[in-house]
Each structure stands twice: as C-alpha cells, then as structure tokens.
Copies of this chain bind each other. A is one copy, B any other.
Amino acid sequence: MPEVYATRRERLRERCAAGGSAAALVTRPANVRYLAGAAPLGAVLLLGGDEDLLLCGGPPSGEAAEGRPDEALEVRVLPRPGGDAAVAAAGLAAERGADSLAVEEHHLTVSRHRALGSVAPGLRLADLGGAVEQLRVIKDEEEISALRIGAEIADQALGELLESILVGRTERHLALELERRLVDHGADGPAFATSVGTGPNSGRRGHRPSDRRVEEGDFLSVCLGATYRGYRCEIGRTFVIGTSPADWQIELYDLVFAAQRAGREALAPGAAYRDVDREARQVLDSGGHTEGLPPLTGHGVGLEIDEDPQLAPAAMGKLDACVPVTVEPGVHLPGRGGVRIDDTLVVRPEADGGPELLTITTKELLAL
C-alpha cells in the first residue's frame, strides 16, 4: 500500500503550510519511516511543495525489517559517505527556492541545527514540533495488525519460558532466551531490552537483568516485546516461584492486578489521559503505596516503544479510537521486590466491544 505513505506526507504538508512553511525536514528515524516506509541509517526526508525526497547516507540495505522505501518517493544517496544528510537536505531546499524550512527541534541537536543554518543562510528555520508524532498517534488497521502479530509472538515466547525450569537460572539468561524465542517466532527483534527481575529486583520498571539467580519464593517479573514490521508492543507479567506464595505476595499482586484492571477498563475514546492514569493510580494509593510510584501508568506504542500519549497525572489530552497503549502499573518495595502487570491494548468504542487486548497471556498469579 504505497499510497498510505503519500497520504501521510500530504497530511503533514497541509500542517506545514498552515504553519507558514512550504518545506519540512524530518530527521527523527521513526518519523522518517512513518512517512517514507523506511529509515535507512542516517536518512532524512525532505518534504517539498510538491516533490519529496528521501536522502540517505548510504544505499538502503533492502532488509524487510528496515522497511522498503515508498516507490513513489525519490531516493537519493549522499555522494560523500559519512556526511550529514540533514545538512545536504537543507542545502537542497535552499537551491529549490524554499525560503523557510520546518525542522524537528526536539530531535536536532544545537550543533546540527547550526550546521543547517550555515549551509543555507538565506533559509529561515522554523519548528515542525511534534507534528509527525501527532499524526502517528492514531493507527490504521494495518499498523494495528502488525502490533497484533507482535503481541502474539511475545505471548508465545513468554508461554514457552513458563514451561521450562526457572530455579537457578540468571535474570540475564532468561532475558536472552526470551529474545531468542521472539526471533524464533518471527519477530524482527526485541522491541526493547527485555527486563527480567527476580526477588528484590522484581517489579522494577526497566530493571536491567543481572546475574542474580531465580530462587524458591521469589517474585519473578518479566517485561518483553516483539518488533514486527517495525511496530513494537509490550507485555509484562509477574509470577511467584514455588508452590505457595507468601501472604504479602498475594496481597501485593491482587492490588496491582486491581489497579491494572481499573486502568484497562478506563480506556475509551474520549477518556482523558490523566483520568485513565488516575483510575489505576488511586487503587495503588488505596493500598498505601504512595511512595515510589511510577511517573506514568501507561503510554502509546507503535514504531517506537514509548510514544504519545503518556498516561500520567499531568498529561493533557484525550484518547481516540485506534490508539494502542500500554497499561502497566507496578509497585516495587525496596529490598523485597514487587509486581508489575503490563498489557498492550487498542482503544476501541464500546460499540466495537471496548478496548482490544493484544497481549493475552493470563494475568492470574501463577506459581511456577
């Protein structure tokens, strides 16, 4: 469906024109891929009045995982390898007679921005802001389908791990094994660094796997995701090792589970981001866990694993249909461990059955 990219570029062109710039330079890789179908290393997209151009540092590799550039798009490779395609694109925009170029100030460094100004001194550099990120929030069914397949892959990888012997293995090895299984099942690769936390490390958001080994009585929390056709999903679960969870473990698990359910149930078109966050957060608060709570209880996913919207206390805005988000509250008790439960869901209207759960691994407290 190459026309999907042309349509996206057309929508961006309209926004730019409304902002007073006929030309735009897109540098953030996920934004380039969204608009051009591929983002080879160092590539930038120059959006002109009518003609668009993908400028690459080197020849595209042609790997499926990288995406293929939209065939309707002119692709040019920098003559001198190692140069900055953004600087070359600014020079081209000036040559083509643009007087103003909208750039991604939240992505360009101060030094790069200055280099753009130097190569084309007559060009006024404006701010494109998060215009492409905003376009990316609502997904089409093809994007959602890629996320759905990625979620299935992550569910499979996690399911297989649960059938294996866990006691005695290190966090690092479990993480690597999960990543291997993701690739086995067809992922382009992991969507982010797989997190495995045992015992006192369990329940910590973004915990980097260590050499700690799984022990009887531990909480074990796992967070992983697959990238499929560039789209990244996320699932997190917490288990208990051994036959009989301690009372504090059951209590904490039930609390986080209730918080996560409250967050999931709050997902609906029109719901304010902060209200979804509050639904999950107030359950944790009610359990007395006001300290060390995460800054957010969920976020958008897509071509990046952490994209708009943020489900957080100070977030502004409301959910739309077809926005995939995570719901991932957690509690970590220093020195003891904790619980995180994390799903990827797509916001859908109630008439369509409400939020669509992509990650379907059970959320019962399993004793492994």
Q: Which residues of A contact B (CB under 8 A)?
A: 41, 61, 63-66, 80-82, 105-114, 127, 172-173, 176-177, 179-180, 183, 204, 206-208, 210, 294-296, 312
Contacts and interface: CB of A to CB of B under 8 A. Distances in A.
Nearest to A173: B183
B312 A206 contact: no
Contacts of A113: 110
26 contacts: A61-B204, A61-B207, A61-B208, A65-B208, A65-B210, A81-B294, A81-B295, A82-B295, A82-B312, A105-B109, A105-B111, A105-B114, A106-B110, A106-B111, A106-B112, A107-B109, A109-B110, A110-B113, A172-B183, A173-B180, A176-B176, A176-B179, A176-B180, A176-B183, A177-B180, A180-B180
Contacts of A295: 80-82
A172 B63 CA distance: 12
Given A61-B204, A106-B109, A106-B111, A296 B82 contact: yes
A208 B108 contact: no
A154 B63 CA distance: 26
Given A61-B207, A66-B208, A176-B183, 6 more contacts: A80-B295, A81-B295, A82-B295, A106-B110, A108-B109, A176-B180
Contacts of A176: 176, 179-180, 183
Nearest to A103: B110
A113 B114 CA distance: 13
A136 B226 CA distance: 36
A64 B210 contact: yes
Contacts of A173: 180, 183
Contacts of A106: 109-112
A340 to B, nearest CB: 15
A301 to B, nearest CB: 18
A209 to B, nearest CB: 9
A294 B80 CA distance: 10
A325 B343 CA distance: 44
Contacts of A204: 61
A179 B189 CA distance: 13
B183 A63 contact: no
A57 B282 CA distance: 23
Contacts of A41: 206
A66 B65 CA distance: 30
Contacts of A81: 294-295
A126 B247 CA distance: 56
B179 A210 contact: no
Interface centre among A81, A106, A109, A207 (most CB of B within 10 A): A109
A126 to B, nearest CB: 11
